[in-house]
Amino acid sequence: MTNPLVRAVARLTMRPLRMLVRPNRRMNAALWNAQYALGLWRYLDGMSDGGMPLSLIERWAPDPAILDLGCGTSANLPLAPGRYRRYHGVDISRRAIDQARAIGRPDTSFEVADIRTFDTTDRFDAILLREVIYYLSETESATLLRRLPGMLTARGRILVQVYDVAQAEELLRLVRGSGLAVAEELSTRLGSGPSGIFLVLTATAEPAGRGSGDAGDDSARP
């Protein structure tokens, strides 16, 4: 496990560097690859939030199809067999995705891609954004949030998790300005760390180009 002091110093150093390289996809990917190579995020792998994402999703979508954007290694997401139909993780870091694939969990797939431009014709019952919004600009976050309803099934929801609660009000403003509604707001905790929040979001209108009839047809989904 990386020393907490090392992690703190690294985060302070990385923050301005991320702002500098973020517009360049290749440089951004290289920076994230370096962080995973140095093990700066390894401490998260053994932490758990009590399975909250899956417990929440099961309320509206038993046996769900899940899309996890900015998934990292996905090691701290308890994907217990029988609690999901399929899971697809997306991250800009090839090193993180290699580690995720190495876990070898059933009915999972992974993809190296920039979530700012990621798109798919598949539809999902839940889209996860766990500790991701921080690393995007306000414009990038708003653009992403506006696109996500088009990747959902009729029963689908978007789950946004943040542990910097100081940014909660700003996040709520951003969410509502993106045409989404907050269905639930819940407190969560990762390991022994500080409390954070989970926002469960729904589209306030039918996504453009998606008919309500075919969106709810399970037979059309992989």
Entry pTM: 0.79
* Residue among 166, 175, 186 at smallest CA distance from 144: 175
Q: What is the pLDDT of residue 35?
A: 82
Is residue 177 within 8 A of residue 194, CB to CB? The reply is no
| Distance of alpha carbon 129 from alpha carbon 45, whole angstroms | 17
Fold (CATH) for 47-205 = Rossmann fold (3.40.50)
**Domain ranges, ordered by start, for the chain:** 4-43, 47-205
* Token digits of residue 114: 């920039």
Could you report the per-residue pLDDT of 129-182, keeping only the tens digit for each? 998 887 888 888 899 999 999 999 999 999 998 876 666 777 888 888 888 999
The predicted pLDDT at position 105 comes to: 94
Using alpha carbons, select from 201, 160, 152 the residue that is nearest to residue 52.
Answer: 160
Task: Tell me the per-residue pLDDT of 35-94, one tens digit each, with 9 for 90 and over.
Answer: 888 777 776 776 666 567 888 899 999 999 999 999 999 988 888 888 999 999 999 999
Query: Is pLDDT larger for residue 222 or for residue 147?
Result: 147
Residue 219 has pLDDT above 70, yes or no: no
Average pLDDT for 119-138: 91
Model confidence band, residue 28 (pLDDT cutoffs 50, 70, 90): confident
Is the CB of residue 72 less than 8 Å from the CB of residue 44? yes
